[in-house]
Structure 1
Amino acid sequence: MPLAVQMFSEKAALINTIIQTSIGCGLCLGPPIGSLLLPLGGYKCPFILVGSLEFLAFILGIALIPPTDKHPATEPKSKSPHYFQFLGNASTLSVAIPIALLYCTPGIRDTTYSLYFEDVMKLSPANVGFIFITYSVVFLITGTVVGLLVEKGLGSILAIFAQLFAPVVATGFFLPKILPQLESVVWGGILLACNGITLSSAINPGYLIMEKVAIRQGFTNIQQVKPMVATSFSLIMSSGRTFGAFVIGGYINDVIGFNYMCLCYAIMLSVSGLWNVVYLVRCGYARRLYYETN
């Protein structure tokens, strides 16, 4: 995302939408393609194919990615971007930390959901992979829709929705502890689909809001702001995913078990979500917001 935004700074919304759609397509195609390739060439076959395609994409990238301007126009009155100054600002943290906690979901899913479906619901690994398609398909569809809505200025509304809806979804995985009849594949599939809605409603709007935060801090040169924000946003998402995998899905899950881990995560999301929503309302971001293009 940072590279693409730097090359096509006027297309930040479209880039975010394409990335979300591409991720959704990959997540949808992965399980069926992997299931087809395993019988044909064994365990190594999917990795050989993916590695070959990645290498081909690398070669095509060298040929197709246009060169960037080595001496971009600067604005004398603009504050020069300072990566760590931007990340450490209180207003940036009010957006970044809640988004990072939201993006713990993929890390938690990777480390705990498969085991949950296999051990508790007695599903085979192949069937578990196909259940995850509910998340992938919804992420694919809503990612595209969200991108269009963000272009219409509705990004902040979607961001508020994501922050308020995420704790509800996390609590849904705890509910079978007190309502055993909910412990079913259907309930799990519904919650996975809701996870897809939550993440797609947070990623694209989150980048837009952070762009506005950077401009308010004095970083007014859009050609410099966009790659700085894109890089920061990538760091936030990867940090959230890592924290979700190692701390929440790893350590906390081992200590208190899957259901109570989900309740603990729901509490974290409630606190961070309330913080984020209050910040957006108080700072005037809970309204129509549009990408800066010049």
Structure 2
Amino acid sequence: MESKNSDTEGAPLIPTTPGNEFPSQLRRAIAVVLVAALSFVEGVSMSLPGPFFPPRATDHGISQTQIGIVSGSCDVANLCFSFIIGSLISPSNKKAVFLTGTFISSAALVLFGLLDYVIDDRIYFVLCILTRIVNGVGVSMVYAMMILIPSTCFPQKAALMNSFIQTIFGVGMFCGPVFGSILIPIGGYETPFISLGIMEAVLSVLGIIIIPAFPADKKTEKKIKNSKPIGYLHLLVRFSTISILLPTGVVFLFSGFRDTAYVLHYQEVTGLAANIVGILFVANSLTAAITGFVVGVLTQKGYAISVMILAHVLTPLTTFAMFVPYFLPKIETRGWAVLILVMNGISVDAAVNPSYLLLQKAAIRNGERNIDQVRKFASSSFMIIFCSGRIVGAAIVGGYLNELVGFYFTSLIYTMVAIVTVTWHIVFLVKSGFIGKVYFDTEEDIAEDIASDN
């Protein structure tokens, strides 16, 4: 069904203007594979510091709260820069934004690994924050384009592209702890960071050659320029948007909490070495890698809401499982830790695709009629809540609150908050009529949404 109000109706995502012929299917396929490879590296870089940085930081005299600040600083920069990226993205600069972000991210990774040679603990702490901030800037640029570029190459297979990239990203997260556990004993703490940074830089150079440019023709630019998209902040503060973002942020909060508090707590309780704990954390990443594709397929088939509810229900169950050893200390075994990490892997992965989809629906229901603007809003808003959740989880919950009341009672508080937000989210979905089959963001789906909402 065609939308009469879409300002980009009929405009090809890769237009065929003179000197800019439509890239061949082979080149577009190779470009998607390259983007997937870079998303794999980003996944590795996200999960790599979790099991290894906190123990190393304590050797430099860094406190639990300071570890949370360092872990959260990357996401703070990612969050702040996401607002800028949301307004800067255009059909003509997707490639430039993406590759600039990968170069920045690769340099920050190398520098972060080399910081282990800094002797002064105060300088070490400050430099850790600075390098993570720089990395956050690069990551925000990469994440914003990671899905948009493949869906631009194959616009009629947007859902499939999203599932593919999310799965590869999950595989990267799976490999992060393994990568560190193998390379750190061989070459030292800095080895995996330097190796990963060099790998990303090489792939970025290849991207300059392989990824096609996406300039819009003058007619398309005029249409977008003459359209009157709803203000970004106006969409962001609507009740429907907040009812999606805040409960979802509570799900993503676990990642920051896990990386700053759970890894140290588990080491302290079990006495296991950091590389052994890192191998246990593979359970989390492996689950994310497996469920990423499954969630993508279910979302494409219209079951996004059921998947989203699963994510919200699993979160309080997971955090309560972390509290149970307070009464039953003997239950805190390796098997119990793997169970917690598997449950978390499922819940976080189950929230990614559906939340992106629901944010698109919210933008349309609140009056946005430009398909390009709908996608930009969903992408940047998702990154905002993803980063916000990790920031709160790392700096406030895993850092300050954990030091204040202890790990077990922090888990209990988190459980109660998650119960409240999951209830809020389910009530919102029911009252908004989202219960049932809800489909993903192909051009036709968005056009039908816009038409039906008129």
- TM-score (norm: length of structure 1): 0.93
1:103 partner SS: helix
1:27-176 map, 5 Å: 27-70=173-216, 71=218, 72=220, 74=223, 80-176=229-325
Larger deviation: 56-65 or 141-150? 56-65
CA contact under 8 A between 2:248 and 2:355: conserved in structure 1?
Answer: yes
Partner Cα separation in structure 2 for residue 12 and residue 203 of structure 1: 15
Deviation of the 1:32 alpha carbon: 2.7
Structure 2 match to 1:256: 405
Structure 2 match to 1:292: 441
Gaps of 5+ in 1: none
1:16 partner SS: helix
Partner Cα separation in structure 1 for residue 226 and residue 383 of structure 2: 28
1:288 partner SS: coil
What percentage of aligned pairs have identical amino acids? 37
CA contact under 8 A between 2:159 and 2:442: conserved in structure 1?
Answer: no
Q: Residues 78 and 5 of structure 1: is their aligned pair in 2 closer, same or farther, counting only changes over 3 Å?
A: farther
1:40 alignment partner AA? I
Structure 1 match to 2:144: 2
Structure 1 match to 2:172: 26
Partner Cα separation in structure 2 for residue 112 and residue 19 of structure 1: 29
Larger deviation: 214-223 or 59-68? 59-68
- Number of aligned residue pairs: 294
Partner Cα separation in structure 2 for residue 36 and residue 247 of structure 1: 31
1:285 alignment partner AA? F
CA contact under 8 A between 1:165 and 1:198: conserved in structure 2?
Answer: yes
Partner Cα separation in structure 2 for residue 225 and residue 80 of structure 1: 9
Q: Residues 104 and 275 of structure 1: is their aligned pair in 2 closer, same or farther, counting only changes over 3 Å?
A: same
Gaps of 5+ in 2: 1-142, 444-454
- TM-score (norm: length of structure 2): 0.62
Matched, 1:224 2:370: no
Structure 1 match to 2:394: 245
Larger deviation: 238-247 or 2-11? 2-11
The C-alpha deviation readout for 1:146-186, integer Å capped at 9, x for no partner, is 00000000001111121122111111100111222322111
Partner Cα separation in structure 2 for residue 5 and residue 84 of structure 1: 22
Deviation of the 1:132 alpha carbon: 0.3
The C-alpha deviation readout for 1:11-67, integer Å capped at 9, x for no partner, is 443343233322321222223332332243222221221110111122122222222
Q: Residues 192 and 4 of structure 1: is their aligned pair in 2 closer, same or farther, counting only changes over 3 Å?
A: closer
CA contact under 8 A between 1:86 and 1:92: conserved in structure 2?
Answer: yes
Give the CA RMSD over aligned residues. Answer: 1.9
Q: Residues 157 and 78 of structure 1: is their aligned pair in 2 closer, same or farther, counting only changes over 3 Å?
A: farther
CA contact under 8 A between 1:107 and 1:243: conserved in structure 2?
Answer: yes
Q: Residues 78 and 99 of structure 1: is their aligned pair in 2 closer, same or farther, counting only changes over 3 Å?
A: farther
Q: Residues 289 and 264 of structure 1: is their aligned pair in 2 closer, same or farther, counting only changes over 3 Å?
A: same
Partner Cα separation in structure 2 for residue 233 and residue 293 of structure 1: 18
Structure 1 match to 2:428: 279
Partner Cα separation in structure 1 for residue 388 and residue 225 of structure 2: 34
Question: Structure 1: which 4+ aligned runs deviate by more than 6 Å?
Answer: 75-78
Deviation of the 1:270 alpha carbon: 0.9
1:142 alignment partner AA? T
1:292 partner SS: coil
- Whose radius of gyration is greater, 1 or 2? 2
Q: Residues 170 and 78 of structure 1: is their aligned pair in 2 closer, same or farther, counting only changes over 3 Å?
A: farther
Structure 1 match to 2:37: none
Structure 2 match to 1:206: 355
Larger deviation: 249-258 or 54-63? 54-63
Q: Residues 141 and 206 of structure 1: is their aligned pair in 2 closer, same or farther, counting only changes over 3 Å?
A: same
The C-alpha deviation readout for 1:96-128, integer Å capped at 9, x for no partner, is 011111101110111011111110111111110
1:285 partner SS: coil
CA contact under 8 A between 1:99 and 1:236: conserved in structure 2?
Answer: yes
